[in-house]
Amino acid sequence: MLLGKIQKQGRNINDLIVGEKLTITEKIEDKDLLLYLGLTNDNNPLYIQHDFASKTIYKKPIVPPIMLMGIITAAISKYLPGPGAYITKQNISFLAPAFHYSTLKFKFEVMDIDVGSNEVVISVTAKNEQNNAVLAGTFYVNPPAIEQ
């Protein structure tokens, strides 16, 4: 985080192209899980307690779905379209659990651009190391507006 320093604005709608893609890889670490759980005060034992999770259908702790959402929103805010972007709507399905210590590959693609409403539609998928889909979604994003 850059405090006290003005960050460069992300790309505006005229700089984006339908079909443009971004891929990021994230390894889910204990420190990230603990920060998320502490910040949200989410104490679901399925997310952190190995003994509890071993008695469920998942057999081991899973990553909170909203933590995966945070990875997506961070990528939109940082890269596509970047700083100043604002998510106005989202539709997401969590297809399978992500587990602690997994490495996930997130793929983003610009599906549609509406210059008139300054809106970009971005599809997102994430897969685990076994190439199994973990999530799929669509995000409606207002890129940084062009100053008049």
The pLDDT assigned to 1 comes to: 53
The mean of the pLDDT values for the chain is 92
Q: Is 35 inside a domain boundary?
A: yes
Q: What is the number of structural domains in the chain?
A: 1
Give the structural domain span for 113: 15-142
Q: Which of 143, 59, 131, 41 is nearest to 99 (CA)?
A: 59
Digit-coded pLDDT (tens) for 53-67: 999 999 999 999 999
148 in a domain, yes or no? no
Residues of the chain falling short of pLDDT 50: none
Domain presence at residue 62: yes
Helix, strand and coil percent figures for the chain, each rounded to 5: 25, 35, 45
SS3 111: strand
CATH of the domain at 107: 3.10.129.10
Judge contact between 109 and 119, C-beta under 8 A: no
3-state SS, residue 36:
helix
Question: For residue 147, is it within any domain?
Answer: no
What pLDDT is recorded for position 146?
65
Paired residues of 135 in beta bridges: 94, 126
Q: Is residue 8 part of a domain?
A: no
Residue 69 lies in a domain: yes
